[in-house]
Structure 1
Amino acid sequence: MAGMRKSERQQLIRQLLTEHDIQKQEDFVTLLAEQNVPVTQATISRDIKDMQLIKVPAPSGGYRYSLPVKKKLDTEKKLKRTLYDAYVSIAIQDYFIVLKALPGNGQAIATLVDQLNLTGLFGTIGGDDTVLMIAKSPADAQTVYEKMTSLLND
């Protein structure tokens, strides 16, 4: 299968991720070679970047490669769970929504809010126990506020 297109190779990488605990780039090179797809580690490195693969704890210890969490639903579920465990208060003023959480949770919540890609949200800043969400307009702030409170009340 020499000269395999990048999209085909990346599809094969996705498949390999579901079947193997892949901990190092060399593992990809070896597994692909077994499928008659010769690649260099540099190619794998580029594929990892392209596919936004992340490292997650492996059941066997250490870390393994995994596909990124792309699904908005998963992000929303994670955010709900985090809010359920850490939420203190939420307030809105003009363009700003300030969410207070238990110490150590602000950055995680801010990251999850960013991953939701909410329309009308200009940016998010996460501190230790505070998340500042900046909207594009006061009306957008109201929409974001309502979204956040709906996540809290579900």
Structure 2
Amino acid sequence: MKSARHQAILHLIEKYPIDRQEDLLAHLRQEGFDVTQATVSRDIRELRLIKTASGDGTYRYMAATGNGKTAHSASRFETIFRESVIGVDYAGHMVLVKCFSGMANAACEVFDSRTWDKVVGTLSGDDTFFILMRSEEAAADICRQLQQYTAHRT
């Protein structure tokens, strides 16, 4: 029963923009699962669901991949990046991604959810996030790659 419920939860959060345990509980009950709030809370923890910002500023539960990163589709990455990022530039090993106010965390989170070559790590603020690269050449390369996803080219 637990396995079937977990599968149902993963299906529901993919299908609906569920952002609260109460909403997930209601959806599960509609699917025929007789569960309590405590069970839903435990399932969320066991499935390692996380809340992420959507492109429209709302939040929703998403499943994390095995490495702790959120699984996002390529189109979701593109949508959030296009809607959040003003420009991308680099200097030395650092890449600066300038975002609209309050959007850097969402853009950085979808960036981190993908696998990129030669990325050491990221650091996000309110309207900017930085990417530390292994070399200046790698910084220039990723800068070019990311610029294709921005509506506001630098």
Q: Normalization by structure 1: what TM-score?
A: 0.62
Amino acid at match of 1:75: F
The separation in 1 between residues aligned to 2:107 and 2:42, in whole angstroms, is: 29
- Does structure 1 residue 91 correspond to structure 2 residue 90? yes
Q: Which of 75, 78, 96 in structure 2 is aligned with 1:73?
A: 75
Q: Which of 6, 9, 29 in structure 2 is aligned with 1:10?
A: 6
Cα RMSD of the aligned pairs, angstroms, is 3.9
Aligned counterpart, 2:40:
44
The separation in 2 between residues aligned to 1:97 and 1:64, in whole angstroms, is: 27
Question: CA shift at 1:127, angstroms?
Answer: 2.5
The separation in 2 between residues aligned to 1:100 and 1:55, in whole angstroms, is: 20
Higher relative CO (Cα under 8 Å, sequence separation at least 6) belongs to: 2
Question: CA shift at 1:72, angstroms?
Answer: 3.2
Name stretches of at least 5 consecutive residues in structure 1 with no aligned partner: 58-62
Amino acid at match of 2:40: I
Percent identical: 21
The separation in 2 between residues aligned to 1:92 and 1:75, in whole angstroms, is: 24
Give the direction of change, closer, same or farther, for the CA distance of 1:13–1:107 in structure 2 (3 Å limit): closer
Amino acid at match of 1:92: A
Name stretches of at least 5 consecutive residues in structure 2 with no aligned partner: 64-70
Amino acid at match of 1:107: N
Give the direction of change, closer, same or farther, for the CA distance of 1:137–1:24 in structure 2 (3 Å limit): same
Q: Deviations over 1:68-112 (max 9, x none)?
A: 5622331222102222xx33x52231x211233454443333333
Q: Deviations over 1:122-144 (max 9, x none)?
A: 11112234321101333432332
Q: Normalization by structure 2: what TM-score?
A: 0.62
Higher helix fraction: Structure 1 or Structure 2? 1
